[in-house]
Amino acid sequence: MTLRICFVCSGNICRSPMAEVVLRHEASAIGLAGRLAIDSAGTAADIGFAIDGRARRALERRGYGPVSHRGRQFQPAWLNERDLVVAMEKSHLRWLDSRGSKTGRTARVRLLLSYPTGRAGQGDSLEVPDPYYGDEAEFESCLDLVQAGCAALLGELAAELTAS
């Protein structure tokens, strides 16, 4: 069984490709890479653009890389072609829900930080803020959240995959 996962953000050049890279790397480290098909897309994608240089540098500083990516638009049909669609913020969930009502969506749709990261009860948002208009430090903070969310997600996926 292969689980098909798509990460979604706005432009598909910062948060969602960061999550795609992190989850792919971490799944590989525990021997689950062959059980997961991971990609990413945007609700208002910068189609064809490379990953933002600040996102790429943040990933490479932490040992993820080299990073190759081109932005692409999320297609509503993918809600029936993926098992799980993971959004970065609530506006992405609303966008996905509005498309899912037209397709009879079969994919589970969740926020990345809705997985148990140990952040619950700390008054923190379940959204990964968009670092695009920020500096390198904001991309590092974004990557912290993406790593925490991906670790929690991978914990649930590993349990699901080993049970099947």
- Residue whose C-alpha is closest to residue 148's, from 137, 138, 140: 140
* Given 6, 14, 15, 24, the catalytic residue: 15
**108 an active-site residue?**
no
Angstrom distances, CA of residue 89 to CA of 15, 81, 109, 127, 135: 10, 21, 12, 5, 20
| Beta pairing class for 108-111 and 84-87 | parallel
* Given 9, 14, 142, 150, the catalytic residue: 9
Largest CA distance in the chain: 43
The dihedral built from the CA positions of residue 53, 59, 62 and 65, taken in this order, carries a sign that is negative
**24 an active-site residue?**
no
* Given 70, 99, 119, 130, the catalytic residue: 130
**9 an active-site residue?**
yes
Residues annotated catalytic, as ranges: 9, 15, 130
